[in-house]
Each structure stands twice: as structure tokens, then as C-alpha cells.
């Protein structure tokens, strides 16, 4: 099946039924600022690509502007607001793997789009219908590794990734000469810029760190990338920007780390999304289906949209075919550190055409020159590349510093040609890009960047100016209000509180005193808690569930543990030892502790582990440690993959019974077959030798016999 998607050498298919979801909900109150928050952790588990994935995720709302809006746009330009559920977007880690990072979208239908980054590999999950027509109505997903991205599918990587539009001098009628532009940039880069405490050597700490963007998708994108579904289109766009934002915010923008420190945390926030569901009637519109146009013409028409002036950047996503010689995947205007030059972030108006144009624009094409839909990882890198231009970076020059060899990490994001994301540097900006972008940020970010907004109606947190906040609720494609709380985060008439925000609230009414609001928590050694029912003001501290007091030290808690200072500690830890798993099969399903001599032994008297408890080789079942077949298979292939004498010996020791059986079968089955074959040959030869000759009967006349009489003689013919 790997040939079905040219960009991938190998992938696997999973279904929504293969993914398990679990929620851990925790409500807490902050008494210092009178706010309440519901914290929900999501455990997402599945197995594919020969490994298990255990993802610990939280809702990710950092990329949403407080005044976020989303619209569909028809052929006449009429807008219709649509609902976007940001509760479907997550960020998190892979459980137990330090340095891991996860960005995911999980739709209401269970279909997931995710980037799972570990120390040694990056895994991608995306809907299969984007790439295979026979899965158009399927809830299946493809999973592939970064290392399985095809470097040369149709030689696409040998073609220029994008064109860039040079910054335009607003005081003249043409583009600034390239050499002059480079000279100006170098001057800006190496001058002592006295912003904040930069001149004193102190790190510059910007407060306005987010570029508010408008994302626009044309009708080609809506048709081919979203199956005519506004929800699918918008979720795709948000997921792409979320991952691009992760690249930018984790970059330290510096010109020379030894000369002066850099600054980071600069990223994006989505302020508006526009989705064209029909071709525009106006033939010269960027969304028109009329005629065959170049990528430059489309971007020029998009830049003519007067709405661009309201945003830090506007970015167009399209799936349209361009002219035959247009093989690029993106295009963007490059920002200049000079404040009077238009293009890129926070651009001034370009009046050279007689009417103001705000070229703070770029575009990403989700269809490559061979007509294939690019994979999500490619879309992220292309978009990051174009946003890099919009922030002031040009293509990396051919120097060892900014275009290293593959052995030294490979090209960076701003390489002239498309990168697959396989090499180490593919996800980072080069030193050249950092210097250019740093100069632009210092010069222009104060114009249009905004402060990060963590307080807004709809984030499930009751803040100072709100009476309630039930999060974003959906009813079809419009915003709606909850049972107790309206869309302005004000209580509904007759409501005292909101069940969503207060544990001592039932049916929008304050619970009476004595109502149990929290069960005993053995994990955290907390007693039961009850509502006090005394206050009539909603969301005061006293109206919440009273803080549960810790149980007495020494009380029993989970798995024979003991409570100490409000925490449940393991049994072995409570008696001054370390918990461990016994290796001997006869001891494997009994509670074991590590003694002072570093040996692991069962406790006396013996304490059997309950069925289903993990043991050294699998899980306990009636005090017997049952091995799991899938563990053996997985370990076997791991040994084959990393075959060394040490790993082989370790494998033989860990699976001694199975190893003896397998080795015996490997040796004796061929020998037995050979002996049996030899015996069969010998028996056949012996039977052939003993077989009598067969003749057919016939009659012939005979002369007189030896006794002078005539006789009848039987003659035999050999057949």
C-alpha cells in the first residue's frame, strides 16, 4: 500500500476503534484571585508502527484570540459565522518519554491529526481520505514516521519550494534593488539597537509577542482538502498554525549569542478564519475559478483585499492548479527591517499602484506539481517557510553556516528547495534567518504584535469580570449558551451559579449544607468533602466544595500503601525499603521489596498480588506470572532489528523455555525431514527390486512336446 501515497515509503492504517480515550477531570479553585478552573487531562492510547503510544494531552487554546471569529463566504462575498470548537485541540507529551512533544486535533468523530515528536523520531497521524479516494467516507488514519517520508517522490524536492517577493519601498515606484536591500539589512543587523535594555547587554524581553493572523482558504481547498466540510477545513488550518507556532515560539532570535542575548516566545495567534465555499463571482478575485493564473497573480489579488490591514499577517491556503511552469508550493512578501518599506509583518500600505495595498500576505499550496495532496508534515514546513519570509528571512545562502551538509544536520527551514523534515535542521531556522528576523522584530513588532491573552470568555475559567464560564458550547454552526451561563459569561436569569464551574451547584442552584461534593480520594489521601451551604453569592470561595482535609498519617491507601502528609506512599517505601518486582517465577506474583543488600525478595508473610497486577514477565493470574505473547513477538523483532551478541544472550535468558523449544525445533525438524526422506527413498528402491515382472496372457500353437505329444502352450507378452 505504500505506493499509493508517493510521498511515503511506508505507512500503516489505523481506525478510530483502535484508539482508546480516557479523561481525568480535576476542578480547582484559586482563592487568591477568585477564579475557578476545570482541568481535564486526556489519555490517548493506541498501537501502530511496531510500538505503543501513550499520550497525555491537555486542551490547547493558546493560539486563539479573545475576539476570534470564523466565517464561511459565498460567491457574493456574504459572510456567515460558524462555530469552532477549540476543545478539540490538544498539546502534551508521550508518557514516560522526556523531551517529547505532541500537537493533536481529535474530532468529534474520533479521527485524529497529530504530530508526535520523540527524541529520536517524529510520528505523524492524519486522515487517510486526504490521500486515497477509496477512503473518502472512512474513519481511518495513516500513521508514518519522519524517516519514512520519500525524499524523491517525483523529484519534488529538487524544485524550488517558493518564490519570494522583495520588500517594496513605499517612497518609490519599484522594488528595492537586491544589493541595496541586503546592504540595508546588514546595517540594521550590526547597529546598536537601543530597544529595552539591549544596549546594556541585558536580554530584551518583549511583552507583545503574538502576531494576530487571518487564515483564508479558497474554494479549491474547501472542495479537495475538506470534502466540502467547514469543520474539516477549519480544523486543518488551526492544526497547521498550531504546529508552525510551536516552531516559532521555541526559537531564540539572536544575531550573535556571544555578543548579546536573544529573545524568544514570539509566535502567532489566530484572530480570524475565512472559508470560501463557492467560487467568487468577480473574475479578478483570488478565489475566482475563472482562467488559469500564476501563483504571483493569485497572491497579488489576495494582497489587494482591504481586510489585510486589520491583521499582522494574512495567509491564503489553496489547492488550485497553477500554470504549468509554476511548481512552487508557496509564495510570500518578505519583510524588511526598514519601517518605511512595505511587505511582511505589520506592513505599511503600498501606494505605488494608486490605491493602498497591504502586502502582509503569503500563501501555501496543498497540491504539488504532480497533482498529489501534500502530507501534513510538508504543509507545516511549507507554511513555516512562508511565514519565515513574512517575518524577514530570505532563502539561506550557500554557506557552511546556513546551509550545512547532511552529515552536519542538513538544510534549515529557509532552504531554497523543499525539505522533508527528516534531517535534524529541517525544523529550525538557520543563524542567517535568525539574524534577519531578529532585526525585523526589533523594528516592527511593536506596531501590530499583541500581548498573549489568557483571559477570555469561553476558556472554562471564571475570571474577575465574569460571573460564570462554561466553555464553548456548540449547537450546529453557531455559538450558543449553556443552561446556567450565557455567551457573555453572565448568569442566566434565575440562576445562582453554574454546575460547570462549581462543585456545590446543582441545576444552577447552590447546594444545601451537608451535600457530599467530593468522595474520599485514596490516591491523594483526602477525606470526603461536603458543601457548607452558607453563602448566597455565586463563586465565592465558601460556595465551593470545602477543602478536604488529609487523613491521618498511617492510614491505609491504595495497594496497601500508607498515607503520609496527605500523600499515599507505597508499602515498601513506608517501611523504609524500595518497591521492586521479583525475578524468580515462584516469587513474581508476590509483593517484593528491595533489601539493604540490593536484593529483591518477597515480604514475609507472603502477600500475593491481585490478578491483573503487572509482574516481571507480564501480568499476574492466580499467583502465576503469565507471559504475554505480544511481548515475546515484539521483543523478538527488536532483537532482530538490533542484533548484537549481548542482546541475543539477554533475549535467550529472558525467554529460556521458549528459546530451548525454538532451537530444538529448528535443529530437529530439518534432521527429521531429511531422515524420513532418505528412508522413503530406500524403501522405494527395495520395493522396486522385489517387484515381479508382469506379463499379459496369449495363446500360441506348439509343436510336439518332449513326450511326442502336441500340447497347448501359454505364451506371455511383456507390456
Please identify which of the residues 386, 394, 423, 470 carries the catalytic annotation. 386
Give me 483's grid cell: 443552561
- Burial status of residue 440 (CB atoms within 10 A of its CB: 0-12, 13-18, 19 or more): buried
Beta strands, E only, 128-263 = 140-145, 162-165, 168-169, 210-217
Contact 554, 573 (CB under 8 A): no
Query: Which has more pLDDT, 452 or 179?
Result: 452
Which residues belong to the annotated binding site for Zn(2+)?
385, 389, 395
Query: Is the per-residue pLDDT at 262 higher than 70?
Result: yes
Give the class (CATH, top level) of 2-448: alpha beta
Fold match flag (2-448 vs 570-627):
no
Q: What are the tens digits of pLDDT across the range 484-516?
A: 888 788 889 988 888 877 777 888 888 888 887
Give me 88's grid cell: 478539540
Task: In whole angstroms, give the CA distance from residue 547 to residue 533.
Answer: 14
Query: Is the per-residue pLDDT at 698 higher than 70?
Result: no
Query: Is the per-residue pLDDT at 706 higher than 80?
Result: no
Task: In whole angstroms, give the CA distance from residue 241 to residue 243.
Answer: 5
Residue 363, pLDDT score: 94
Task: In whole angstroms, give the CA distance from residue 641 to residue 254.
Answer: 42
Contact 116, 55 (CB under 8 A): yes
For the chain, count helices (H), then strands (E): 10, 35
Query: Is the per-residue pLDDT at 236 higher than 60?
Result: yes
> Which is it for the CA torsion 556, 557, 563, 566, positive or negative?
negative
Task: In whole angstroms, give the CA distance from residue 359 to residue 350.
Answer: 7
- Burial status of residue 382 (CB atoms within 10 A of its CB: 0-12, 13-18, 19 or more): buried
Task: In whole angstroms, give the CA distance from residue 136 to residue 490.
Answer: 43
Give the alpha-carbon dihedral of 566, 570, 571, 573, to 10 degrees: -90
| 327-336, 667-676, 696-705: least confidently modelled range | 696-705
Average per-residue pLDDT for the chain: 77
Residue 422, pLDDT score: 66
Secondary structure of residue 687 in the 3-state scheme: helix
Task: In whole angstroms, give the CA distance from residue 196 to residue 202.
Answer: 8
Task: In whole angstroms, give the CA distance from residue 365 to residue 162.
Answer: 10
Give me 402's grid cell: 546556513
**Domain parsing of the chain, residue ranges:** 2-448, 570-627
Query: Which has more pLDDT, 480 or 406?
Result: 406
What are the C-alpha distances in Å from 575 to residues 472, 581, 600, 601?
Answer: 49, 17, 15, 14
pLDDT band at 101 (very low <50, low <70, confident <90, very high): very high
Query: Which has more pLDDT, 514 or 201?
Result: 514
Q: Is 386 a catalytic residue?
A: yes
What are the C-alpha distances in Å from 630 to residues 15, 597, 613, 650?
Answer: 20, 34, 17, 18
Tell me which H or E stretch contains 475: strand 474-475
Task: In whole angstroms, give the CA distance from residue 18 to residue 592.
Answer: 35
Strand pairing of 112-117 and 695-704? unpaired
Region 271-289: mean pLDDT is 94
In terms of Cα–Cα distance, which of 382, 385, 401, 295 is closest to 334? 385
- Burial status of residue 230 (CB atoms within 10 A of its CB: 0-12, 13-18, 19 or more): buried
- When the candidates are 3.30.479.30, 3.90.180.10, 4.10.70.30, 2.40.50.140, the CATH number that belongs to 570-627 is 4.10.70.30
Which residues belong to the annotated binding site?
385, 389, 395
Residue 465, pLDDT score: 72
Contact 385, 331 (CB under 8 A): no
Cβ count within 10 A of residue 165:
21
Contact 603, 591 (CB under 8 A): yes
Amino acid at each position: 500500500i505504500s505506493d499509493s501515497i508517493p510521498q511515503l515509503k511506508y505507512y500503516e492504517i489505523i481506525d478510530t476503534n483502535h484508539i482508546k480515550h480516557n479523561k481525568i477531570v480535576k476542578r480547582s479553585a484559586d482563592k487568591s484571585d477568585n477564579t475557578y478552573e476545570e482541568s481535564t487531562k486526556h489519555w490517548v492510547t493506541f498501537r501502530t508502527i511496531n510500538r505503543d503510544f501513550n499520550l497525555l494531552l491537555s486542551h490547547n487554546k493558546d493560539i486563539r484570540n479573545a475576539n476570534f471569529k470564523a466565517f464561511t463566504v459565498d460567491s457574493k462575498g456574504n459572510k456567515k459565522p460558524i462555530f469552532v470548537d477549540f476543545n478539540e485541540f490538544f498539546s502534551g507529551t508521550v508518557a514516560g518519554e522526556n523531551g517529547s512533544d505532541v500537537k493533536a486535533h481529535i474530532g468529534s468523530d474520533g479521527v485524529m491529526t497529530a504530530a508526535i515528536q520523540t527524541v529520536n523520531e517524529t510520528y505523524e497521524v492524519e486522515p487517510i481520505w486526504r490521500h486515497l479516494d477509496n477512503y473518502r467516507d472512512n474513519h481511518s488514519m495513516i500513521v508514518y514516521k519522519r524517516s519514512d517520508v520519500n525524499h524523491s517522490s517525483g523529484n519534488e524536492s529538487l524544485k524550488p519550494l517558493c518564490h519570494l517577493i522583495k520588500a517594496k519601498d513605499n517612497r518609490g515606484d519599484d522594488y528595492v534593488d537586491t544589493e541595496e536591500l541586503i546592504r540595508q539589512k546588514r546595517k540594521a543587523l550590526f547597529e546598536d539597537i537601543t530597544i529595552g535594555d539591549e544596549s546594556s547587554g541585558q536580554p530584551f524581553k518583549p511583552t507583545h509577542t503574538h502576531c494576530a493572523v487571518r487564515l483564508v482558504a479558497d474554494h479549491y481547498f474547501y472542495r479537495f482538502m475538506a470534502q466540502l466540510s467547514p469543520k474539516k477545513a477549519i480544523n486543518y488550518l488551526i492544526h497547521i498554525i498550531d504546529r508552525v507556532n510551536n516552531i516559532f515560539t521555541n526559537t531564540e532570535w539572536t544575531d550573535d549569542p556571544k555578543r548579546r542575548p536573544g529573545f524568544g516566545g514570539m509566535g502567532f495567534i489566530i484572530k480570524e478564519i475565512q472559508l470560501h465555499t463557492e467560487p467568487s463571482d468577480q473574475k479578478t478575485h483570488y478565489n475566482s475559478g475563472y482562467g488559469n493564473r500564476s501563483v504571483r497573480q493569485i497572491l497579488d489579488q489576495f494582497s489587494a483585499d482591504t481586510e489585510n490591514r486589520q491583521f499582522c499577517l494574512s495567509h491564503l491556503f489553496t489547492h488550485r492548479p497553477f500554470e504549468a511552469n509554476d511548481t512552487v508550493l508557496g509564495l510570500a512578501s518578505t519583510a524588511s527591517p526598514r519601517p518605511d518599506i512595505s511587505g511582511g509583518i505589520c506592513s505599511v500600505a503600498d501606494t505605488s499602484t494608486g490605491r493602498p495595498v497591504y502586502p502582509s500576505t503569503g500563501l501555501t499550496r496543498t497540491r504539488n506539481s504532480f497533482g498529489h495532496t501534500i502530507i501534513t508534515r510538508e504543509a507545516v514546513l511549507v507554511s513555516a517557510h512562508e511565514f519565515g519570509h513574512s517575518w524577514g528571512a530570505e532563502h539561506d545562502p550557500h554557506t557552511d553556516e546556513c546551509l550545512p551538509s547532511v552529515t552536519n544536520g542538513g538544510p534549515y527551514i529557509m532552504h531554497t528547495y523543499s525539505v522533508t523534515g527528516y534531517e535534524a535542521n529541517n525544523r529550525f531556522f538557520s543563524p542567517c534567518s535568525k539574524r534577519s528576523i531578529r532585526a525585523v522584530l526589533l523594528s516592527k513588532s511593536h506596531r501590530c504584535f499583541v500581548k498573549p491573552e489568557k483571559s477570555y470568555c469561553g476558556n472554562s475559567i471564571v475570571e474577575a469580570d465574569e460571573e460564570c464560564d462554561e466553555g464553548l458550547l456548540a449547537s450546529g454552526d453557531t455559538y450558543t449558551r449553556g443552561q446556567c451561563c450565557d455567551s457573555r459569561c453572565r448568569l442566566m436569569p434565575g440562576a445562582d451559579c453554574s454546575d460547570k464551574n462549581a462543585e456545590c451547584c446543582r441545576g444552577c442552584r447552590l447546594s444545601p449544607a451537608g451535600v457530599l461534593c467530593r468522595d474520599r480520594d485514596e490516591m491523594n489521601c483526602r477525606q470526603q468533602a461536603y458543601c457548607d451551604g452558607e453563602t448566597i453569592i455565586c463563586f465565592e470561595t465558601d460556595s465551593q466544595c470545602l477543602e478536604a482535609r488529609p487523613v491521618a498519617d498511617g492510614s491505609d491507601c491504595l495497594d496497601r500503601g500508607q498515607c503520609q502528609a496527605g500523600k499515599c506512599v507505597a508499602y515498601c517505601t513506608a517501611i523504609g525499603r524500595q518497591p521492586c518486582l521479583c525475578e524468580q517465577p515462584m516469587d513474581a506474583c508476590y509483593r517484593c521489596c528491595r533489601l539493604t543488600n540490593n536484593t529483591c525478595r518477597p515480604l514475609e508473610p507472603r502477600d500475593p498480588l491481585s490478578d491483573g497486577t503487572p509482574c516481571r514477565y507480564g501480568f499476574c493470574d492466580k499467583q502465576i506470572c503469565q507471559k504475554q505473547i505480544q511481548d515475546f513477538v515484539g521483543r523478538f523483532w527488536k532483537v532482530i532489528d538490533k542484533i548484537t551478541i549481548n542482546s541475543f544472550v539477554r533475549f535467550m535468558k529472558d525467554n529460556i523455555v521458549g528459546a530451548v523449544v525454538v532451537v530444538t525445533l529448528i535443529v530437529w525438524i530439518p534432521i527429521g525431514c531429511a531422515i524420513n526422506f532418505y528412508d522413503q527413498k530406500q524403501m522405494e528402491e527395495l520395493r522396486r527390486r522385489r517387484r515381479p515382472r508382469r506379463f499379459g496372457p496369449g495363446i500360441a500353437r506348439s509343436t510336439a512336446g518332449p513326450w511326442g505329444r502336441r500340447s497347448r502352450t501359454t505364451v506371455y507378452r511383456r507390456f
